[in-house]
């Protein structure tokens, strides 16, 4: 199973980031989990240097290789400090204006610099008529439009319904199971056999009380965790639940 630990804009200091990394490394060692930690970009190089068996992801990259883009980081820079993954299209970046088209360009930029993209998709709200499925299809189509079958094996898809991020509880496992089937069918139609083995993750308010259930009944290959990944006691509860 894959566990992506999105620290978002936490913790406050590099010292605290190292403590969190150490605790995460110890917890991962005891479990059969592929752990990917996504620290804020300012900590990326230091965390990558001490990552041990963990993988390291940037939380975002720019579409361009270099240039006048104050405050941004490029895929090659992320790769050069030892990270091997990148979150692309996270709901919190889309809320700041990131478009489907930019997501597609970032996926291409990531792959060109040997970063494995973790592509985040998710609808803002649900409706009774299933229009949200169309939103997911459009997001996936745009993100994957320039990806070849050979490169597709490097991709990870993370479904994060916006309404379940930062909420009190995750989406139901039944709803996730349906979404896993929907995404899997899309991936198969686009990439054939490769699409069958691309990991599909769930993200949104996962913690120690919900992780196990979502893994087993949501039919997912892993989880993308926000709050419970950067709070030391919640992080321990999460790993205990995944024993
Ligand atoms: P929470 O787990 O805090 O709801 O965040 C989910 C998320 O956005 C992970 O990328």
79 pLDDT more than 90: yes
> Best mutation site among 8, 121, 159, 220 for ligand 1, i.e. most ligand atoms within 8 A of its Cβ?
8
Percentage of the residues of the chain whose pLDDT score is greater than 90: 96
CA distance to 28, 179, 235, 238, per residue, from 220 (Å): 19, 10, 20, 16
Q: What is the pLDDT of residues 204-231, one digit of tens each?
A: 999 999 999 999 999 999 999 999 999 9
Whether pTM exceeds 0.85: yes
Name the residue among 118, 63, 64, 116 with its Cα closest to residue 90: 118
Question: How much distance in Å is there from the Cα of 9 to the middle of ligand 1?
Answer: 12
* Atom nearest to 164 CA in ligand 1: 4
Question: How much distance in Å is there from the Cα of 67 to the middle of ligand 1?
Answer: 31
Q: Verify whether residue 177 is a known catalytic residue.
A: no
pLDDT at 56: 98
Q: Could you tell me the two tokens for 212?
A: 């196990």
> Best mutation site among 165, 201, 234 for ligand 1, i.e. most ligand atoms within 8 A of its Cβ?
165
In this structure, what are the phi and psi dihedrals at residue 148, rounded to the nearest 5 degrees?
A: -80, 165
Q: What is the pLDDT of residues 35-58, one digit of tens each?
A: 999 999 999 999 999 999 999 999
175 pLDDT more than 80: yes
pLDDT at 200: 98
Q: Return the CATH class of domain 2-10+33-222.
A: alpha beta
2 pLDDT more than 90: yes
Pocket residues for ligand 1 (CB within 6 Å)? 6, 90, 160, 165-166, 203-206, 224-228
Taking residues 88-112, what's their average pLDDT?
98
Q: How confident is the model at residue 243 (pLDDT cuts 50, 70, 90)?
A: confident
Q: How confident is the model at residue 88 (pLDDT cuts 50, 70, 90)?
A: very high
> Best mutation site among 123, 226, 234, 235 for ligand 1, i.e. most ligand atoms within 8 A of its Cβ?
226
149 pLDDT more than 80: yes
pLDDT at 24: 96
Atom 2, ligand 1: residue with shortest CA distance: 226
Q: How confident is the model at residue 32 (pLDDT cuts 50, 70, 90)?
A: confident
pLDDT at 47: 98
Residues 6+ apart with CB under 8 A from 40: 7, 8, 9, 10, 59
Kindly name the residue from 62, 85, 90, 92 that is annotated as catalytic.
90
Question: How much distance in Å is there from the Cα of 34 to the middle of ligand 1?
Answer: 18
Q: Verify whether residue 90 is a known catalytic residue.
A: yes
Q: How confident is the model at residue 30 (pLDDT cuts 50, 70, 90)?
A: confident
Element at 21 (helix H, strand E)? helix 14-29
pLDDT at 55: 98
Distance CA 88, CA 96 (A): 13
Distance CA 238, CA 205 (A): 12
> Tokens 């030391």 correspond to what residue?
232
């Amino acid at each position: 199973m894959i566990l992506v630990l999105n620290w978002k804009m936490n913790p406050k200091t590099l010292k605290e980031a190292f403590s969190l990394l150490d605790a995460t490394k110890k917890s991962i060692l005891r479990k059969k989990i592929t752990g990917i930690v996504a620290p804020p970009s300012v900590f990326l190089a230091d965390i990558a240097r001490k990552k041990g068996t963990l993988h390291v992801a940037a939380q975002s990259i720019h579409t361009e290789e270099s240039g006048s883009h104050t405050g941004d980081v490029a895929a090659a820079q992320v790769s050069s400090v030892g990270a091997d993954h990148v979150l692309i299209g996270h709901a919190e970046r889309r809320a700041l204006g990131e478009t489907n088209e930019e997501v597609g360009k970032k996926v291409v930029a990531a792959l060109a610099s040997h970063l494995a993209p973790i592509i985040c998709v998710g609808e803002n709200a649900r409706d009774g008529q299933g229009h949200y499925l169309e939103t997911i299809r459009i997001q996936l189509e745009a993100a994957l439009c320039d990806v070849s079958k050979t490169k597709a094996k490097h991709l990870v898809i993370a479904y994060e319904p916006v309404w379940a991020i930062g909420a009190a509880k995750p989406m139901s496992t039944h709803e996730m199971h349906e979404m896993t089937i929907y995404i899997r069918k899309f991936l198969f139609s686009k990439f054939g056999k490769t699409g069958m083995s691309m990991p599909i993750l769930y993200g949104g308010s996962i913690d120690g009380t919900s992780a196990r259930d979502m893994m087993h009944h949501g039919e997912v290959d892993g989880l993308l965790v926000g709050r419970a990944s950067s709070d030391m006691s919640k992080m321990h509860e999460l790993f205990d639940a995944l024993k």
